[in-house]
Amino acid sequence: MKKHLVRFRRLWWLLPACLSGFLLAFAPAEHARAEEIACTGTDLVGQLAEKDPALLRKIKDEAAAIPNGKGLLWRVEKDGIAPSYLFGTMHVTDPRVTELPAAAKGAFAEAKTVVIETTDILDRNAMMAAMAEKPELMMFSGKENLADHLTQEERESVEKALKERGMPLGSVLKMKPWILISLVSLPECELQRQRQGLPVLDAKIAQEAKAEGKEVAGLETVSEQLAAMASLPMELHIQGLVGTLALGDRMDDLIETMVSLYLAGETGMFRPALGQLLRIEGQEADYAAFEKRMVEMRNYVMAERAEPLLESGSAFIAVGAMHLPGETGLVTLLRQAGYRLQPVH
Measured CA to CA, the distance from residue 161 to residue 248 in angstroms comes to: 8
Residue 35 lies in a domain: no
The reply to whether 160 falls in a domain is no
CA distance linking residue 271 with residue 151, whole number of Å:
30
Strands (E), the chain: 73-78, 81-89, 113-116, 215-218, 315-320, 340-343
Measured distance CA(99)–CA(93) in Å, rounded: 10
The pLDDT of residue 183 is above 90: no
User: What digits encode the pLDDT tens for the residues 28-72?
Assistant: 444 444 346 778 889 999 999 999 999 999 999 999 999 999 999
pLDDT in tens, 133-174: 888 888 999 999 999 999 999 999 999 999 988 899 999 999
- Please tell me the predicted confidence (pLDDT) of residue 52: 95
- For the stretch 234-292, pLDDT in tens is 988 888 888 888 877 777 888 899 999 999 999 999 989 988 887 644 444 456 667 77
Whether the predicted model's global pTM rises above the 0.85 cut: yes
What pLDDT is attached to residue 166? 87
pLDDT at 13: 45
Has residue 200 been placed in a domain?
A: yes
3-29: pLDDT as tens digits: 333 333 444 445 555 555 555 555 444
Residue 24 contacts by C-beta under 8 Å, 6 or more apart in sequence? 121, 124, 127, 194, 199, 200, 203
Q: Note whether 338 and 107 are within 8 A (CB).
A: no
CB atoms within 10 A of CB 105: 11
Note whether residue 179 is domain-resident: yes
Domain region containing 245: 2-30+43-139+175-343
In a domain, 164, yes or no: no
Q: Provide the percentage of residues in the chain whose pLDDT is more than 90.
A: 57
Phi, psi of 244, rounded to the nearest 5 degrees: -65, -45
Q: Give SS3 for 343.
A: strand
Lowest mean pLDDT among 186-190, 311-315, 322-326: 186-190
d(CA 178, CA 174): 12
Interval 309-335 mean pLDDT: 97
Does the pLDDT of residue 303 top 70, yes or no?
Answer: yes
* Dihedral angle of Cα 328, 330, 335, 338, to the nearest 10 degrees: 110
- Residue at 157 is within a domain: no
CA distance linking residue 319 with residue 308, whole number of Å: 16
pLDDT of the residue at 289: 67
Query: Residue 74 falls within a domain, yes or no?
Result: yes
Mean pLDDT, to the nearest integer, of 184-200? 86
**Per-residue model confidence (pLDDT) at position 38:** 75
Encode 201-226 in three state secondary structure: HHHHHHHHHHHCCCEEEECCCHHHHH
Determine the Cα–Cα distance for residues 157 and 136; give it in Å rounded to an integer: 25
The verdict on residue 156 lying in a domain is no
Angle of helix 44-51 relative to helix 270-277, nearest 10 degrees, comes to 70
* Mean pLDDT across 220-245: 86
Mean pLDDT, all residues of the chain: 86
Split into its structural domains, the chain has a count of 1
